[in-house]
Each structure stands twice: as C-alpha cells, then as structure tokens.
Amino acid sequence: MSKKKGLGRGLSALLENVETDITTGTKSESASRVLGSVAMLPVSQIEANPFQPRTVFDKESMMELVQSIQELGIIQPVTVRKMGRDKFQLISGERRFRASQLAGLDEIPAYIRIANDQAMLEMALVENIQRKNLDPIEVALSYQRLIEECNLTQEAMSERVGKKRATITNTLRLLKLPPEVQSALRKNEISMGHARALLSFTDGKELLRMFNRILEEGMSVRQVESGGRTEKTAEKPVKKKPLPLSFEQQKIKSDLIDWFGTKVDIKRDEKGTGKIEIAFQSDDDLRRIIEKLDQ
C-alpha cells in the first residue's frame, strides 16, 4: 500500500484505473496472454520510451542491477502500452528494461496499458520524478516539461507528484543557473545547498566567481552564504562616525564659531588627524571669512 501512495495521485490513478488497461473489454491476442494485468513480453517487442526524461544512467549501479536480474530476475514489472501487433512501447521502467537487455533476458514481466502521448508523457515524468537517484536538474527538467507539455499548473503538479508547491518552485529555480553550474550539480561536484546559495547572487559574474571558488577552495554552503552577504554589504560602505571631541576641542570649536560668525565643525580620528569645516552662506560671506583668516 505504501508503495502505491509514493507514486503520486496522477500516476497511481492512471495505472489502477481499469479503463486504461488494454485487457479491459477486449478479446485480443495480447489480452489472452495477460494474467492479473501482468504479461511476459519478449524484450525484442518492446521499444524505448521517446518521452524518457532521464538522460544519465549510472554505469556502476546499472551493472549492479544487471547482476541482480541475472540472479533473481525482474522483481518489479515494467509498464508498457500497446502500439500494434506484437509491438509495445515503454511507459516506465527504462532502467530495468536496459538492464534486462544487458542481462540477456528474452522476456520480461510487464503491465500492459492504454495511454495517449500526453498521458504517456505525464506518466513517465511522474514515475521518474519519484526515483530517488534522479539528479536535481533532471527533476527540474521533468517539472518544466509537465508544466509546458502537459499544461499542468504548479498546484496540479504538486498533487501529481506528491510534493509541496514550494519544493517544486525551488527546484525549478535551478534551471536559472548557468550551464556550467547545472553541469557541476549533476556531477555532484557541488551540492543542492551550494546551488541554492548561488541563486542568491543577482550578478552573473559574481555568481560564477563564487562558483569557481567553491570548486577550487572547497567552500561550505555556509561560507558561500556568508560570502554573498559580505559582498552585498561591501557595495554600500559604512561611514565611520567621527570620534567625540574632548572638552578642550569643544572650547576651540566654540571660539571659532564666535570668531567667524558661522557654523564650524571639527572632525578627528583615532590617529589625531582631522579637519575643520567652516560653513558660508554666499560669496560675500565666503570673502568675509577669508578676510578673517588673513587677520
């Protein structure tokens, strides 16, 4: 039961609905070979799924599956649709199908279903999204295809795949990253945490500079996040407040105000250096102050 829930409402409904089963209401040759909606089909009669969203298959894990199939056989049937006489097309289970070919099997167990192209695409995408070993970019591309090609809203997709809408939105944002960053994420050279931290950089050059630092220096996610905040702060330098004047300096300031008859300010730093600012209101006022300086 738990496995069915994990498939998501969209895929589960399509697979379990009797109206999508090719064995329902038909007396075809294929139907007679089906027992409990599962049939043993020749591998040679099955073609790959053109809508397969997965583009990378790990060689090591594939060979482990091949060895398992050679020893135990196919435990979980693939799902196919009828294309014509003795011709079927994969809906889901391409990894198992490829491994079966490598293992030299002549036939494999399969669920036989009816699905049009759009329904098939949706089923394949949803089924693959549930796979834990998909990389984040493959998942993001699958989400994008569900939106663009299956006309699903993020709310509808959330129901199909059993994921929160915020999770879907954050995953889709990964497609905004530069190609080299996406490639590094797919190869596990950077983590999802690194990718999310890089998305906070609005300047493309700064993003790539930080990305290269991650690769070269092995920066942690927290360091990347901290680096982003530091660089943003550096864009707006903080003005240092002048040091408070001593009693003697305040007396000098007061005497200067009286002498020049205008506002005077004294600013100094920790080293003892500083400046005196004398305000004037007009050209005539400036000439008057200069005459005072000459006295």
17-58 confidence digits (pLDDT tens): 444 444 444 444 444 444 336 788 999 999 887 766 565 677
- The one catalytic residue among 29, 47, 71, 94: 94
What are the sequence ranges of the domains in the chain? Answer: 2-115, 247-290
pLDDT in tens, 165-220: 888 888 889 989 988 999 899 888 999 899 999 998 888 889 999 999 999 988 89
Q: What is the pLDDT of residue 8?
A: 46
**Residues with Cβ < 8 Å from 237, sequence gap 6 or more?**
none
Q: What is the pTM of this model?
A: 0.46
How confident is the model over 226-244, as a mean pLDDT?
59
Question: What would the CATH number be for the domain defined by 2-115?
Answer: 3.90.1530.30
What are the structure tokens assigned to 82, written together? 């009828």
- Known catalytic residue at 94: yes
For residue 234, the one-letter residue type is: A
Q: In this prediction, what percent of the chain has a pLDDT beyond 90?
A: 12
Task: Count CB-CB contacts under 10 A for residue 218.
Answer: 8
pLDDT at 53: 57
Residue pair 177/195 in contact by the 8 Å Cβ criterion: yes
